[in-house]
A and B are shown apart, each in its own frame.
Chain A
């Protein structure tokens, strides 16, 4: 029996993220929670969801218990419709075939810019992080969902370094930078679901997770949040969602 009252933060992220996806969409997914969430959505309410991986895979159908360790491993190709070169699969983003890009984040700011390159200054970094991978391309070229842990040090007013662009400095600065398409759509954390204001492009709380209040989200955020007028409360993960998720990741590679 799955105990639906007890679940981890990573499980919440995967389940709430999966709910953002719609059947028939084409989704470009990063490894970890994004891959898990996209696969979960495919099993639950989106049987017609097409998953792309940056390793060069179109239409993957990952097997339960055999999650790939990266999006460049053979497991990503399981029951796929096509395998192609990695530059070519990224070019599909540029041509506009992808509805949603889906990835994790280490540090995000009020305009949805993501940093996965440097803590501190690039010239003398405190920490050199792994870098963009396909993150910059995905964030530049399609609508993004980001699933990440909610901590004050991760939700900052201004990221140390824009690795993957959100709305840059808000307003129309993204388009003016040469990025006319896409942008941040949703951010999912263990505390809330966020969108972005249509005009200022600042981060806005759309829904609070079960048992979470406004103050708790604000206290864990390093900038002043907007709250949607129609702020709602998210339904807790269901038994079916948890069971399916645990079936996909029985060894808790990504949901510990």
Chain B
């Protein structure tokens, strides 16, 4: 069964009309929130590269052994390694996929894409953004002026060249992307899902509006009174949100703006391990860091208190001067 590239407008609206959009509490466990993601779904992943990655939710999905997901994200780093290495995703839709600019190519991505039958569907970064935006706007496509003339476009028959009816210019139409579910990690939100995002917001606001369901993980839950004191700070409104999970250090070992920077020693050890042995190294990492720990806190213990504190110290330093 192949889902249509652009989803039917009436069914998209129907999905929202049937959603409980009341101001209600949605706080739940990581385990229960993860059940909103089912095998074969398209999953929009918030954040970008090594920033505000919803890592705790991805970790939980790996533990629950989801299968055949299609994951889309602005830019993918070690989260993509994990999606392929744990076999929860068949496809990653993104503009860039490595472990991080410091480490060169991902041997894990290379193995699974070159030999393992996994798909890395490449779009330009702006095209990814405009695909989520079209999804958020309730229109089937948006026109852009990049990707034209390139081989990136030749690989993407889903995008259509088009002559502008007003100017006659050649433009590219990129199809709306409305994921079944979005995973977004934020600094804070209330129990209803009104979310603050500090610093870089990437494509998360469009992603939240585009998706059928949104799972928020948050560094902390604040009261609705706090939200109402500064409503201009709310970046995602409650009625887009279906689950709220409080997970401190929920983007570890990646960064969460103003809270912690990436845990670089953990990242370096990870990269050395999986690039040396893309299959065995990854298996060992998953056993020890994903399937092994009882709780997310136990996973954080494996990263180590010194590593976490150093990352937190650097993360908060953005507000020091």
Contacts and interface: CB of A to CB of B under 8 A. Distances in A.
Interface string B173-194: 0000000000000000000000
A72 B251 CA distance: 14
A216 interface: no
Contacts, number: 185
Interface stretch (A84-92, A204-212, A226-234): A84-92
Interface stretch (B104-112, B216-224, B295-303): B104-112
Contacts of A74: 51, 199-200, 255, 257-258, 261, 315, 318
B175 to A, nearest CB: 15
Given A94-B146, A127-B110, A31 B101 contact: yes
Interface stretch (B33-41, B63-71, B125-133, B240-248): B125-133
Contacts of A83: 199-201
B114 A132 contact: no
Given A130-B96, A178-B149, A72 B51 contact: yes
Contacts of B264: 69
Contacts of B101: 31-32, 69-70
Interface string A118-141: 000010010111111111110011
B226 interface: no
Given A87-B130, A140-B146, A177-B148, A131 B261 contact: no
Q: Is the interface of A mostly helix, strand, loop or mixed?
A: loop
B149 A177 contact: yes
Interface size class of A (residues with CB under 8 A): 35 or more
Contact of B124 (A69, A77, A91, A136): A136
Contacts of A91: 126
B110 A128 contact: yes
Nearest to A163: B152
B125 A134 contact: yes
A87 B150 CA distance: 20
Contacts of B125: 54, 86, 90, 132-134, 136-137
B105 A70 contact: no
Contact of A55 (B51, B122, B152): B51
B279 interface: no
Given A74-B255, A161-B151, A131 B97 contact: yes
A173 interface: yes
A162 B255 contact: no
Given A70-B50, A87-B130, A130 B150 contact: no
Interface string A146-167: 0000000000000001111100
B126 A134 contact: yes
B114 to A, nearest CB: 6
A224 interface: no
Contact of A85 (B122, B202, B255): B202
Contact of A131 (B120, B130, B257, B315): B120
B28 interface: no
A128 B113 CA distance: 7
Given A70-B101, A86-B202, A127-B110, A132 B129 contact: no
A149 to B, nearest CB: 13
B202 A132 contact: no
Contacts of B120: 128, 131
Interface string B145-163: 1111111100100000100
Interface of A: 31-32, 54-57, 69-70, 72-78, 83-88, 90-91, 93-94, 117, 122, 125, 127-137, 140-141, 161-165, 168, 173-174, 177-180, 253
Given A117-B151, A132-B96, A136-B147, 12 more contacts: A55-B49, A74-B200, A76-B200, A77-B318, A87-B126, A87-B133, A127-B114, A132-B123, A136-B150, A136-B152, A179-B148, A180-B169
18 contacts: A55-B49, A72-B48, A73-B50, A74-B200, A77-B199, A85-B129, A85-B206, A86-B200, A87-B126, A87-B129, A87-B133, A128-B110, A132-B122, A132-B125, A136-B146, A137-B147, A162-B150, A178-B171
